[in-house]
Chain A
């Protein structure tokens, strides 16, 4: 006989899947339960896995080594000032620091991890044995025309228009490939859910009944 956990999982899965027919009270119940439990879990998880070990325990156990965490804590508390009308403007300070920090970090990461490798792999010789020049040429035309498509300082007219049209064709081809790839992944997820329903729930249930 399946366990209570399996029963709950199976019935809630079926309740969510019932949305495929139409919106109904069972789906609404499962949806609300899912949202509420997920939020509760997140709050508990963040409290126990982040705030407690990284802030509270770090400060109480070794204050001398971790005193700078007070600033991080104050920034976090600062976000709640938005609920006090007179101090609401203070909430923008931690938000600004948070956004500014990540923008700075991201710029370096993107240039370092994406722009430079992409450019390096695009600078290919238009010579070589066999079909290499053709494939290299295709890569070069693809990257440069897509780059031109995302150039916003010029209207897409004349030669720039033709080049950017070629660019969007390359983009669409890559989208087609990505679409197929991701659909395969989604079908795999669906198979996983049906696998749970059939093998973990239905089969033991039928085995126990018959």
Chain B
């Protein structure tokens, strides 16, 4: 940055009076100080650098709001030189400005992705050459970010959603029109029949925990479909069923499911509302109550099917100590290892959904599983093509899948 020399003559003018002696002295001092300044600041004595040219700030198009796009051109005097652009933002052209980014020379575009709240901002861009100094600032704005109706950066997600939805709807339609859709039998399903049969023989109850989440969790819905099967078998064999709940909505849906299952089995007389009961909402209070029930009532078969968290190991370990046959099923990746270690059979991840479809023979569930299978096939094919192209140096598939 150049050093602006002091100019006593200007001071005199400001006062409105002219003094010859003082003027001569001032001129002398001015000469001396200018010379001294030139000696000290020789490297940065160049005139101030011009501002970046044509700075514009526009609302980032086709986005969810909160982003402002800045573009500019480097002035001819600094193009190609080393240095950095400093991007600043403030509520008005008077400031205060705070730095929101720094870009190397050669770039001419910046997206402020923190322009939330609908507030208008003024942007200030300066260039700082590596040799020192700073350019005159360029200003743009005020401008506020607004959300748009369609996001072009999410077209890949839209294509996937449409494809998956289309496949699922197509296979649901096929299942409803009587087409036989093949879904392989999961080996864990045999264990369900075995567990219920064992409980019946031993004259002890079957404990079924449909997870701890509400009905907004898809695992809970799958758990209720399997509960329908378990309820039907229990009613058929006359085995005692116990379904403790943590979530009130799941509790309501589970009671409906079991009631319907007893009706389907032709044994509505065996249904009692206490079969499906509500315990409490707190995760570990629920766990303590259920483990206590396991120890006191010693169910012969425990089902832990649905969404579980930290209570998974506590429940299944306690069930194991009571000698019950245990079947678990969840899509919670962090809890699956505990179920695998402590249960006789575990439905891993998507097996839970496939099992519910297989057991219920519901066209909606069967079609959904089939549609998802086709989607997996599409992803596998796309993946293999992508790997081949990436190995050949064309990462085009990877770029198409990139989320912005």
Contact = CB atoms under 8 A, between A and B. Distances in A.
Given A119-B379, A152-B183, A34 B282 contact: yes
Contacts of A101: 216
Interface string A51-85: 00000000000000000000000000001001000
A33 B346 CA distance: 33
A23 B298 CA distance: 12
Contacts of A98: 215-216, 249
Nearest to A27: B292
Interface residues of B, number: 69
Interface string B351-366: 1001000000000000
Contact of A179 (B221, B341, B386): B341
A99 interface: yes
B279 interface: yes
Given A31-B289, A116-B403, A182-B334, A155 B387 contact: no
A102 to B, nearest CB: 3
Nearest to A133: B391
Interface string B263-305: 0000000000000000111101110110110011000000000
A196 interface: no
Interface stretch (B121-129, B131-139, B153-161): B153-161
B398 A123 contact: yes
B252 interface: yes
B164 interface: yes
A98 B334 CA distance: 27
B157 A111 contact: yes
A72 B3 CA distance: 68
B392 to A, nearest CB: 8
A95 B252 contact: yes
B253 A95 contact: yes
Most chain B CB within a 10 A radius of its CB, from A41, A102, A143, A153: A153
A39 B277 CA distance: 14
Given A35-B288, A107-B161, A175 B340 contact: yes
B145 interface: no
Contacts of B402: 120
Contacts of A23: 292, 295-296
19 contacts: A19-B291, A31-B285, A34-B284, A42-B282, A95-B249, A98-B216, A106-B216, A111-B161, A111-B164, A123-B397, A123-B401, A124-B387, A150-B349, A152-B186, A152-B369, A153-B374, A171-B348, A178-B333, A182-B334
List the 8 closest A-B pairs by CB distance, nearest first: A38-B282, A102-B216, A123-B386, A179-B337, A175-B337, A42-B281, A35-B280, A38-B285
